Amino acid sequence: MDACDKCGNPQIIINRKQSGQMLCQDCFIEFIQEKVLKDIRRQKLIEKGDKVLVALSGGKDSVMLLHILNNLKKRRIIDIVAVTIDEGISGYREHGVSIATQNAEMLGIKHRIVSFKDYIGGTIDEIMKNSSDRNACTYCGVFRRWILNQVAREEGATKIATGHNLDDEAQSIMMNYLEGNIQNLTRIGVRSESSYEGFTVKIKPLREIPEKETALYALACDLPVHLAGCPYAGDSFRAKIGTFLKQISQEHPTIMYSTLRGFDKIKPVLKEEFSQKGSMGVCEECGEPAAGKFCKACSFRKLWK
């Protein structure tokens, strides 16, 4: 009869096809927490004394990340501030904001809610009403990164932690390969760095946890999470790649890990050959790093004003 590989409990909740492990609920929770904290140590993502800004959408990934990082806060290794960005997507974001607030309050973590309206002067819904040439995610991602950088500086954060999981990262790699965006590929990784002094290092502590397991973790720990999908997500190229990778993983359960491992091996070569060495300047409008006169966020703001 099947039983948990760690404790022998016959009530297993997961059969991890990629590793052959079968785990019960308690052992799965412990395994995930240990794996994330081990990945953080192994990859030196966090140091003692860091002030970590956690991008908390209220979704399963960022909620799980906040709860796991809280272990380091409780041990006084780091300080945490959570930030929720309200993009202004009506009927969707309101619930995420209230779930994020609930989680931050539960853990006693400082929580800021910042909006596209306040930082860029308009909502995603308004932008999409006036724009037909790009999909919502293109604007949303650029503005979100821009706002995160601003908030990190306002808070004096030394790291920005996001809840990107294995599926997200494999999608980013595949999307950029298929579109031939080699410059973008050179920026994908567990940690983003820049020599620009106003730039806060971004880290992805859940990068090696499959989405299926972040969902199961939230369920097993009974965490309050926002499960609804963004109404704009269906349009995106990312969503199509996500579906493709999920399908192929059914027959090849390690495919997303191998996508990641292969990419991490060739990345130093890509960086050597293709990264924009020394060509980054500073945006004339906002002072953020920029390849040209203006950063991407400020170029978009101009189009839409």
Pairing of strands 21-24, 110-115: unpaired
Q: Which of 73, 112, 285, 289 forms a contact with Zn ion (CB under 5 A)?
A: 285
Q: Which does 216 bind (CB under 5 to 8 A by kind): ligand SF4, Zn ion, none?
A: none
Q: Which of residues 138-177 bind ligand SF4 (CB under 6 A)?
A: 140-141
Q: Which of 82, 149, 295, 300 forms a contact with Zn ion (CB under 5 A)?
A: 295
Supply φ then ψ for residue 55, to 5 degrees: -80, 105
Q: Which of residues 101-140 bind ligand SF4 (CB under 6 A)?
A: 124, 136-137, 140
Please choose, from the candidates 192, 190, 205, the residue with its C-alpha nearest in 3D space to the C-alpha of residue 69: 205
Q: Which of residues 34-93 bind ligand SF4 (CB under 6 A)?
A: 87
The DSSP secondary-structure symbol of 235 reads G
Q: Which does 288 bind (CB under 5 to 8 A by kind): Zn ion, ligand SF4, none?
A: Zn ion
Q: Which of residues 134-153 bind Zn ion (CB under 5 A)?
A: none
286 binds Zn ion (CB under 5 A): yes
Vertex 33 angle, CA 29 and 36, to 5°: 140
d(Cα 24, Cα 13) in Å, to the nearest integer? 5
Please choose, from the candidates 134, 158, 131, 123, the residue with its C-alpha nearest in 3D space to the C-alpha of residue 51: 158
Least distance (Å) between residue 270 CB and ligand SF4: 25
Residue whose CB is less far from Zn ion, 166 or 298: 298
Q: Which does 286 bind (CB under 5 to 8 A by kind): ligand SF4, Zn ion, none?
A: Zn ion
Distances in Å between the alpha carbon of 86 and those of 97, 244, 282, 292? 7, 29, 26, 28
Contacts with Zn ion by CB under 5 A lie at 283, 285-286, 288, 295, 298
